[in-house]
Amino acid sequence: MTDEARYHRSVRRMRRTIAVLGAAGAIAASFVYGPSTGFGFLIGAAASFLSFWRYQRIAESLGRSNNAGRPRVKRFMIQFALLAGAGYVIVKYLEVNRMALAIGLLVAGVAVTIEILYEIIYGI
């Protein structure tokens, strides 16, 4: 198996893990702490997924030989500002649990840690 194929398999597993952890965490938080907490966790996990996707695109563009596929810094900053603005509106006006939202933002880090452990154990 080529290195590129291994990379894509790892990314696919991490995306799936982020989705499963986000959904399971939101359901569990909703049952234990209420829908406001579950929704906050789900929003945080979704933002974590988008952040992971964006970092993946940046990392992949660094390996390209041409500049056509590279994301522009200005566009990245605009997207980041829009994401931050959307986060502010969600927290301020939808009254979601801020702590649950912050914990949901950690889902991608947990997925990466799980992937590291998977690679160490199975060495694929």
Count of residues in the chain: 124
- In the chain, which residue ranges form alpha helices assigned H by DSSP? 3-33, 35-62, 73-93, 98-104, 107-122
Q: CA angle, corner 113, sides to 111 and 118, nearest 5?
A: 95
Predicted model pTM: 0.81
Provide the 10 A C-beta neighbour count for residue 98.
12
Long-range Cβ contact pairs of 4-10 (< 8 A, separation 24 or more): 6/124, 9/124, 10/115, 10/119
Of 25-29, 91-95, 115-119, least confident by mean pLDDT is 91-95
Q: Give the model's pLDDT for residue 71.
A: 57
Q: At what angle do helices 107-122 and 3-33 cross, to 10 degrees?
A: 130
Averaged confidence pLDDT in the chain:
86
